[in-house]
Structure 1
Amino acid sequence: MLRILTTILLLATTVAFSQRGAYDFNKAEKETRKLIFSAPDKGLALIKQTLKQPNLHDSILGKTYNLYGMYFGVTGRPDSLIRYMDKSLGYLKNYPELRVKTLMNLSIGYRNKSELSKALDIINQALVIYQKNKDNVGIATAYGEMASNYSYMQNYKLAVDYLLKSISILKAEKNTDKLPAVQQKLANTYMAMGNHEFAIDLNRESAAAFKKAGDTNNYYHTLINLGESLGRTGKYAEAEKVLTEALNGLNTYGDKELTGITQSHLGVLKGLQGNDKQALEWYAKAMGNLYASKSGWAAGIAGEYIALLNTNKEYERALEVTEQIKTLKLNEKGNTENQLKFTEAAAATYNALGMTNDAVKAYQHTLSLMDTLNKIKKIGAIEEIQAKYQTDIQREKNARLEANNKILTHDINAAETRMWIYIGAGVLIILFVLLLLRGYLLKNRLQTEELKSIEAERSVIEQQHVHEQELIAAQKDIIGEKQRELTSTALRMANYQDSIRTLIERCDNNEITQVNDAKRELQNLVKQQDYWKQFETRFNTLHPEFGTTLIRRFDKLTKNDIEFCSLLKLNLSNKEIASLLQISHESVITKKYRIKKKMEIGSDEEFENLIMDI
């Protein structure tokens, strides 16, 4: 009853304004909503014109401030979006059907600020209203926004589940207007899981639908994601064309965050093509926009930028980016994967510049983030949900086949009815229908067998994938075990050397004065295995090409030089090598210097990189 009275009051107010000729709000609202997504500044002018009208009803003020907030959302200013949405809610306390739309927009603002828990709470408030009003399209919209939050939180299973629910509801309601937006969200989720081929198909469909509807804002959003997937699958020329179109279109909106993200995708694209110079230029432009918008994506994109700077040995520049992100506290925003990208790249920069303490802290944080990420990512679950949407499509095909069968059954019943009317012709009709039915049954049986065959093939492929994963894990374990055995051998060599040194010290201290005692001790040591030989054998097993590669490239090196380089390959310190070879720390440094001289290498960094890369 209250809802009916509210609607009557709202209509009466609108009619009153129209009759006075003062201002047609309904017309202005439709025009404003359209302009916000195509020409935002023109939409803002209409919003301001509406707010200048005298004696506006609370419902009109609430809807207008909602549009004001949407304008800031489209132009990439989430703080202003939230402020105006809160203002809208203040006027819409008694209008739940209007209030729910503002709540949905408010949740987007908090999501863009990476305040995901708060965004989910607000969506749940909206969902309660939609369910109370039995608004199925609204429920589907809420599910879609929930999925966006869960995808950002890397809970892809929940994201896909909610998106499939949303798609199912919209199809049942025959609502094609909102379907492209949900398909776009599904494409984004599959992109996040690395399924770029399927994401490309979904994004192409969504982009075409948005363009046809004149929704340029969502159209450019979709182009960004399409361009990224095209680049990841090696379609570089098409990816650059799509991203350039998106970048040019975004200039209309002034959305610095989206502009920065698009520029970073162009940077990734140039990097994939081996053009690091242009890639760094695009990243620099991107970071300027991401700093300005304080984007939640800034940390992840900065991580990619810093890693590329490190690869090009531009460590000072990489440090500037790192400190800027930390100063703006953008490293604390975004999901775990983005934070991991940044922290890992920053650690490499600190390490390259000799900032040991900072590097250690960054590596420790990296390990913590990796543990968190491993808990989130469940490979089996991801593979299952990647196949879920394809299964849903097949289910839809089966539903259409079932509908065809129902139509056929209806035709048979009609034929049987006519049989009683036309007895003579009825027999012939029945025979014809039975033959036709038999053909359909055989066809259905063949289709069923074909589906079983496809399912069996999919099962075999999944088993092969699991086997490959297990084989890779086993190989990693074997390599790790050999590395541990090699280090163990090296340590036993050190122990062997220490035993000899101890024997000498005991002789010097007159603890052993008889030649026979000394001889007995030496015989015990002789009985022990040749640890250096064991070390050499195991080292060559783990790094078979190391020695031959060094000799081929640097023919001046001796066998002792190769053995010394083998210890460096194990990343042992000068002190540890001195202990193993029973020489002084200074002798190790001298030995390293002579080897570098033979190899005609000047810096320690170049020498160490060469040893580790072989």
Structure 2
Amino acid sequence: MAKRILPFLFFLLSTAALAQHYDFKKAEMDARKLIYSKPDSALTIIKRTLAQKGAHDTIYGNTYNIYGMYFGMKGNSDSLIYYTKKSLTYLNRYPRNKARSLMNMSIGYRNKADYNAAINLIEEALELHKKENNNVGVAMAYGELASNYNYMLEYDKSIDLLLKAIKILKAEKNTKQLVAIKQKLANTYLAKENYPFAIDLYRECLAEFKAGGMAKNYYMTLMNLGEAQIQVNDMVGAQKSLSEAVVGLEPFGDKEMIGICYSKIGNLENALGHYEKGVASFQKAMDYLVPSGSGRVVRIAGEYVNLLNKGGNYKKSMEVIALVEKLKKFNNANLQDRMVYKNAAADTYKGTNNDKEAIKAYQQTIAIMDSIADQEQQSAVEEIQAKFQTELQREKNVALEANNRVLQATMESEKNLMMLYVLVSIAIIVLILLFLRGYWLKAKLQKEELRLVESEKNMIRQQHQYEQELTNAQKEIIEEKQRELTSSALRMANYQDGINQIIDKCESNIYTKVTEVKKDLQGIIKQKDYWKQFETRFNTLHPEFSNTLTNRFEKLTKNDIEFCSLLKLNLSNKEIASLLQISHESAITKKYRIKKKMDINDDADFEKLLMEI
């Protein structure tokens, strides 16, 4: 008996010893670090941690939360929600950890297009962060709320929340989380069709995501950059961005993101006039999106149907429409996605001579566009109205032709005059009803158009306010880059001071050996070329400054332009003299000669001119 018990006791003691030596904190940190770049490697650590016994509740709770994040990386929203819910069973007494799980769970609901559920979870997490005085957590909650409002086309709320988040993170000096907020802001600029600024922000984010090892965020940002490049007609750049993105996303197995990426490639091929390649890319997109259960399938199906209609392939268009109707995702899509889909479906019905369904779809499209009330959609409304009137007229013509045939047959037979009278009366009534219906629809459209004009006025006022806020945010970014440029210039001055120190030592015979001079020179050589760095940063911040001065004042030399660029940075004469290694008096003389070349006598006028360029 003792022989049987001893091995069992040895096994229990060994297991307990292993659990005591397992570094739970290190395992959690490693898993959290790998989840964004190598999720499968993170999964191995997650399973190993969950297999351990005797760990604290926060260890199990945090690990299940990371388990949910793993499925988020894979695009499996249901499993993401399941495991984050499981993590909450361990974290009810730990507000910070609980808030983090709530926010991750909200991402799962957002991916399923259940925006109300997602917003409720984030608001619960936001209250926990506020009670804990966790400012970074508050900022990230604002960012997640903004993402939901962005999908819901409520860009004003999205921008307001993102600006709050940026302000908090800058105050906290948290650059790691700031890049995620900047990416969300770029997404909003993309949605509002401010493509150049979106491209600049995306490129900044790409560098930071790559440096931080956040591979999936890097490829998703690259995908959105490709879409923005298509809009500014940078087809070569878009092709490069999207090709790299789709290859990079494949290992994560996120079918939704891969499908979206293929849809953007389809739009690119369509813009390049490659119809067959565009169709093939959109078909790949649907093959990925349908199994993923993504709500984005409505918008992408609409773009696919538009392309098929363009090629006259109405049979395939009808197959795609039937598939979308079967998926029952239409009501979960946002208004803009519904509009794209319904408009494409209406064109398909029109192409197949299904007039009733075409009119019905055009009516639904107009109603959706009225809800969106966006200024840029005015021309689209007019186009839909024209199509609707055409289909209505076609329906009238069909009814008239049918009645004419009945009348003609009745008149030829002359068998029943009473029947003829009844048929003629019916035809007249039908025509009157059709006329009244057309008049009613026309009056309704005019009324809706007036409502749309009023809504547009309100939108213009709101847009002006939002653009002012965005301008202030851009101004803050520019000022920050200005400070970086000034810092670069002063570092350049320190670099040149080092050279002067070596010269002074040589003149004072401080060096006793050539090797000492060589050592000091090598130390300077290893430093960066700060003047070249200054020129590059200055031209990036003020790209038209040099050309504008040269064109307006032809007498100015290159050295004069460089001197003016230092004055534009508000450097004093003493700082400029130190930077250029000249005397203070020479700097004053140089400034006087430049003003003379520009026919300017007053210092205030001279400085005002430089600041305005």
Distance of aligned partners of 1:293 and 1:274 in 2 relative to their CA distance in 1, 3 Å threshold = same
Question: How far apart, in 2, do the equivalents of 1:212 and 1:119 lie?
Answer: 30
Deviations 1:330-364 (A, max 9, x none): 22222110011001101111121122332232222
Superposed counterparts of 1:339-350, under 5 Å: 339-350=338-349
Q: In the alignment, which residue of structure 2 is the partner of 1:213?
A: 212
Question: How far apart, in 1, do the equivalents of 2:306 and 2:343 lie?
Answer: 9
| Identical-pair percentage | 43
TM-superposed CA distance for 1:105, in Å, is 0.5
Question: How far apart, in 1, do the equivalents of 2:477 and 2:197 lie?
Answer: 18
Conserved 8 A contact 1:156-1:382: no
Question: How far apart, in 2, do the equivalents of 1:143 and 1:329 lie?
Answer: 31
Q: How many residues align?
A: 409
Superposed counterparts of 1:59-208, under 5 Å: 59-208=58-207
Question: How far apart, in 1, do the equivalents of 2:233 and 2:300 lie?
Answer: 20
Conserved 8 A contact 1:39-1:252: no
Write the letter of the residue equivalent to 2:41.
K
Write the letter of the residue equivalent to 1:390.
T
Superposed counterparts of 1:123-522, under 5 Å: 123-374=122-373, 378-395=459-476
Write the letter of the residue equivalent to 1:327.
K
- Consecutive unaligned residues of structure 1, counting only runs of 5 or more, are 1-15, 405-411, 413-435, 437-441, 455-614
TM-superposed CA distance for 1:19, in Å, is 9.0
Question: How far apart, in 1, do the equivalents of 2:87 and 2:245 lie?
Answer: 31
Distance of aligned partners of 1:221 and 1:60 in 2 relative to their CA distance in 1, 3 Å threshold = same
TM-superposed CA distance for 1:295, in Å, is 1.1
Q: In the alignment, which residue of structure 1 is the partner of 2:53?
A: 54
Stretch deviating more after TM superposition (356-365 or 82-91) = 356-365
Deviations 1:121-156 (A, max 9, x none): 111111111111111111111111111111111111
Question: How far apart, in 1, do the equivalents of 2:103 and 2:307 lie?
Answer: 38
Distance of aligned partners of 1:57 and 1:372 in 2 relative to their CA distance in 1, 3 Å threshold = same
Distance of aligned partners of 1:17 and 1:198 in 2 relative to their CA distance in 1, 3 Å threshold = farther
Conserved 8 A contact 1:114-1:333: yes
Conserved 8 A contact 1:137-1:170: yes
Q: In the alignment, which residue of structure 2 is the partner of 1:562?
A: none
Question: How far apart, in 1, do the equivalents of 2:467 and 2:259 lie?
Answer: 29
Conserved 8 A contact 2:262-2:282: yes
Conserved 8 A contact 1:193-1:382: no
Stretch deviating more after TM superposition (265-274 or 388-397) = 388-397
Question: How far apart, in 2, do the equivalents of 1:369 and 1:274 lie?
Answer: 30
TM-superposed CA distance for 1:63, in Å, is 0.8
Distance of aligned partners of 1:397 and 1:209 in 2 relative to their CA distance in 1, 3 Å threshold = closer
Conserved 8 A contact 1:299-1:333: no
Conserved 8 A contact 2:19-2:52: no
Question: How far apart, in 1, do the equivalents of 2:482 and 2:243 lie?
Answer: 43
TM-superposed CA distance for 1:243, in Å, is 0.8
TM-superposed CA distance for 1:396, in Å, is 5.9
Conserved 8 A contact 2:95-2:132: no
Question: How far apart, in 2, do the equivalents of 1:302 and 1:232 lie?
Answer: 20
What SS is found at the alignment partner of 1:122? helix
Conserved 8 A contact 2:75-2:256: yes
Distance of aligned partners of 1:107 and 1:21 in 2 relative to their CA distance in 1, 3 Å threshold = same
TM-superposed CA distance for 1:393, in Å, is 3.3
Question: How far apart, in 1, do the equivalents of 2:245 and 2:483 lie?
Answer: 42
Conserved 8 A contact 2:19-2:53: no
Q: In the alignment, which residue of structure 2 is the partner of 1:552?
A: none
Q: In the alignment, which residue of structure 1 is the partner of 2:496?
A: none
Write the letter of the residue equivalent to 1:340.
M
CA RMSD of the aligned region, Å? 3.0
Write the letter of the residue equivalent to 2:293.
K
Conserved 8 A contact 1:190-1:386: no
Conserved 8 A contact 1:17-1:24: no
Distance of aligned partners of 1:99 and 1:347 in 2 relative to their CA distance in 1, 3 Å threshold = same
Q: In the alignment, which residue of structure 2 is the partner of 1:574?
A: none
Write the letter of the residue equivalent to 1:343.
K
Conserved 8 A contact 1:344-1:366: yes
TM-superposed CA distance for 1:177, in Å, is 0.4
Write the letter of the residue equivalent to 2:340.
K
Conserved 8 A contact 1:180-1:206: yes
Distance of aligned partners of 1:314 and 1:126 in 2 relative to their CA distance in 1, 3 Å threshold = same
What SS is found at the alignment partner of 1:252? helix
Question: How far apart, in 2, do the equivalents of 1:345 and 1:160 lie?
Answer: 30
Conserved 8 A contact 1:143-1:162: yes
What SS is found at the alignment partner of 1:207? helix
Question: How far apart, in 1, do the equivalents of 2:473 and 2:215 lie?
Answer: 29
TM-superposed CA distance for 1:383, in Å, is 4.8
TM-superposed CA distance for 1:387, in Å, is 4.8
TM-superposed CA distance for 1:443, in Å, is 7.6
Question: How far apart, in 1, do the equivalents of 2:118 and 2:53 lie?
Answer: 34
Q: In the alignment, which residue of structure 2 is the partner of 1:7?
A: none
Distance of aligned partners of 1:210 and 1:94 in 2 relative to their CA distance in 1, 3 Å threshold = same
Deviations 1:31-52 (A, max 9, x none): 1112211111221122111111
What SS is found at the alignment partner of 2:308? helix
- Consecutive unaligned residues of structure 2, counting only runs of 5 or more, are 1-14, 375-454, 487-571, 573-590, 592-601
Write the letter of the residue equivalent to 2:311.
N
Conserved 8 A contact 1:220-1:246: yes
Question: How far apart, in 2, do the equivalents of 1:394 and 1:221 lie?
Answer: 27
Write the letter of the residue equivalent to 2:70.
Y
Deviations 1:384-413 (A, max 9, x none): 424533322324666999999xxxxxxx9x
Distance of aligned partners of 1:121 and 1:443 in 2 relative to their CA distance in 1, 3 Å threshold = farther
TM-superposed CA distance for 1:382, in Å, is 3.1
TM-superposed CA distance for 1:318, in Å, is 0.4
Question: How far apart, in 2, do the equivalents of 1:356 and 1:206 lie?
Answer: 49
